[in-house]
Structure 1
């Protein structure tokens, strides 16, 4: 049986492992955390949102980044301190602007494809992840935002998505709890929400039941590949600072890099350029402990275009509010000045929600300059990538896992090893 290693136990790595197991491979997953889904797959906005497939590549994004550079609470915040990594990423981001329409359409198609795969996995493995299928409502505070969304709608339709315009009265009909004045909105009935952490941990357990080995607390020190196979060298993460350092080695026929923001360094060691930049996002989880808060919290998922804030209702007792994009290197600090706008937004739009119990979180989105994930083979034999999904990892991962697994099945078929034996 062919053996494939997967680096990363977030939603991308675990869905990849599951897709490989379905095709008959032996699978070993490595992750530096003690459990699955403890980094960027821990507490995102919760949206499985084909309606949010518009890529960011545009001069308007550049201008907003420059305008907001000194506003600490801005939806998009860029640390002005230069680095070669940041500058090269931004240059490639600008170079991808001419492909904005094509990439938005492709992302939409991937997102729609991913839905079926993800819900099929959850149904087959009996995973409860607080899934809600009430659609996603995009709200716009002025005509300019609404008009831009109308243009985007044409691209989403080309990708196969149906999203309809709604009036201010329809906004309140779809989500009666919302406060404020809005020019209009767009509603996507087919979009859904769910808890990424619950899904990923549930699928990780399913992988183990099917024979996968998941090595947690593992710092991958080296990945090497040649015609004879792949070598993974790792050391226990919990043993950092303890001498002598224990190095363990695992041999495999192939490897899939699903390491989020860590993918860039691993790819460089294998001779591949995967120019991922870490773009920090924040979220809060509001505990709805009283009946008044539960009634006051929305049940339909929202995206507020002006503030770039998204919401999801996770079961009866949790309300997730997420947003912002921060270009600040590999900094994982949870900043109070970035959390406060999320709390203030909740109080303004849903004033009856009690925000006494709020759990803040921050994660690093692995973003490539053209906003499309890197999915497929690397330069060296047996090396594959499924990484760089940016803010749509939850939305796209179930599709890209199938794509990379099928690529491996074509290049390294299980039956090929049996025939050679």
Structure 2
């Protein structure tokens, strides 16, 4: 049986392992953490959002980033300190402005395929992850913001999305917990929300029952590619206190799929490839709804406040996920209070519920300069990549996992 190694047990790695196992491969997944979905797939915004497929490659995004550099609470924050990786990435980002429309519409297409595939997997495998198929509602506070969004909406719908304009009154009918006055909005009824960590952990259990092996608590220290396959050298990660830190394990495989999130840049470098993933930090809070009043007042329909760039997802009866911000600050994973507080303040302004018990989190989104995932073979015959999904890993992973698995199958049949 053909053996495939997958690096990374986040949403892309686990969905890839699932699809490969369905095709009959012997799959081994390696991750430095002791459990699946412990980094970017742990506590994101929760949205399965084809409606949020617009890529960021616009001059307006750059201008806003420059304008907001001195505002610690800004939705987009760029640390100006010099980094070759960061500034090379930004130059490539600017170079992809010309591909804004085609990349946005391709992302819509992928998102719609992924949404359907994820629903199929969840139903077939009976995974409970607080799925809510109530759509996503975008709202705007000003006429200028709303009018700018009309052309974006037309472009998304041209790409296949079903999304329509709604008035202030219609928004409050869709989501009665909204109490403010808004200029207008757009509603995408087909989108959904769910707990990415619960889904990924649940699917990992499914794959283990199908024979997928997980090597948790291991870091990849070197990868060699040869005619017969690939050889990985692994050592115990800092989390793996039960293993000897100097012990090297050898893993041989017929092919390798890199699903390493923000670590994909370094992994690709080991293999002679350039996969220009840059880490873009996002923050979230999980508001624990411990009293009946808060549970009644918290929104069930997923929301996106376009002015604040903040999203919400209801995760069952007793949790509300609130997420936002994009921070270009390297591989720093610190949870900054001055980035968390605006999320708490936003909830307090918009809803009549208690934020007393709010759990903060920060994660690094693996972003490519063109805002498109890297789903392809590398320079070498036996190396593949499924990474760089940025802020849409949860949204796109079910499609890209199927795509990369088919590429593996075409090159290295079972």
**Normalising by the residue count of structure 1, what TM-score does the alignment of the two structures yield?**
0.97
Q: CA deviation at 1:318?
A: 0.2
Q: Which residue in the other structure is 1:272 paired with?
A: 273
Alignment of 1:70-81 (within 5 A): 70-81=70-81
Per-residue displacement from partner, 1:68-95 (whole Å, max 9, x unpaired)? 0010000000111011001100000000
Give secondary structure in 1 for the equivalent of 2:224.
Answer: strand
For the 8 Å contact 1:226–1:381, the answer to whether it is kept is: no
**Normalising by the residue count of structure 2, what TM-score does the alignment of the two structures yield?**
0.98
For the 8 Å contact 1:272–1:378, the answer to whether it is kept is: yes
Q: Which residue in the other structure is 2:263 paired with?
A: 262
Q: Which residue in the other structure is 2:127 paired with?
A: 127
Q: Which residue in the other structure is 1:202 paired with?
A: 202
For the 8 Å contact 1:179–1:348, the answer to whether it is kept is: no
Q: 5+ residue gaps in structure 2?
A: none
For the 8 Å contact 2:34–2:240, the answer to whether it is kept is: no
Give secondary structure in 2 for the equivalent of 1:275.
Answer: coil
Q: CA deviation at 1:241?
A: 12
For the 8 Å contact 2:262–2:366, the answer to whether it is kept is: yes
For the 8 Å contact 1:51–1:188, the answer to whether it is kept is: yes
Give secondary structure in 1 for the equivalent of 2:154.
Answer: helix
Q: Which residue in the other structure is 1:225 paired with?
A: 225
How far apart, CA to CA, are the structure 1 residues paired with 2:80 and 2:243?
38
Q: Which residue in the other structure is 2:113 paired with?
A: 113
Q: Which residue in the other structure is 2:392 paired with?
A: 392
For the 8 Å contact 2:285–2:343, the answer to whether it is kept is: yes
Q: Which residue in the other structure is 1:158 paired with?
A: 158
How far apart, CA to CA, are the structure 1 residues paired with 2:51 and 2:240?
44
Give secondary structure in 2 for the equivalent of 1:94.
Answer: helix
Q: CA deviation at 1:158?
A: 2.1
How far apart, CA to CA, are the structure 2 residues paired with 1:239 and 1:65?
39
How far apart, CA to CA, are the structure 1 residues paired with 2:285 and 2:164?
29
Q: CA deviation at 1:50?
A: 0.2
Say whether residues 1:96 and 2:92 are aligned partners: no
Q: Which residue in the other structure is 1:3 paired with?
A: 3
Give secondary structure in 2 for the equivalent of 1:20.
Answer: helix
For the 8 Å contact 2:218–2:240, the answer to whether it is kept is: no
Per-residue displacement from partner, 1:141-164 (whole Å, max 9, x unpaired)? 111211121111122112211100
Give secondary structure in 2 for the equivalent of 1:165.
Answer: strand
Q: Which residue in the other structure is 1:413 paired with?
A: 413
How far apart, CA to CA, are the structure 2 residues paired with 1:189 and 1:34?
37
Q: Which runs of 4+ in 1 moved over 3 A?
A: 238-244
How far apart, CA to CA, are the structure 2 residues paired with 1:223 and 1:155?
42
Backbone CA RMSD of aligned residues: 1.1
Q: Which residue in the other structure is 2:298 paired with?
A: 297
Q: Which residue in the other structure is 1:281 paired with?
A: 282
Q: CA deviation at 1:116?
A: 1.4
Give secondary structure in 2 for the equivalent of 1:137.
Answer: strand
Per-residue displacement from partner, 1:335-377 (whole Å, max 9, x unpaired)? 0000000000000000x21111000000000000000000010
For the 8 Å contact 1:12–1:393, the answer to whether it is kept is: yes
Q: 1:239 to 1:300 in 2, by over 3 A?
A: closer
Per-residue displacement from partner, 1:357-401 (whole Å, max 9, x unpaired)? 000000000000000000010001210000000000000000000
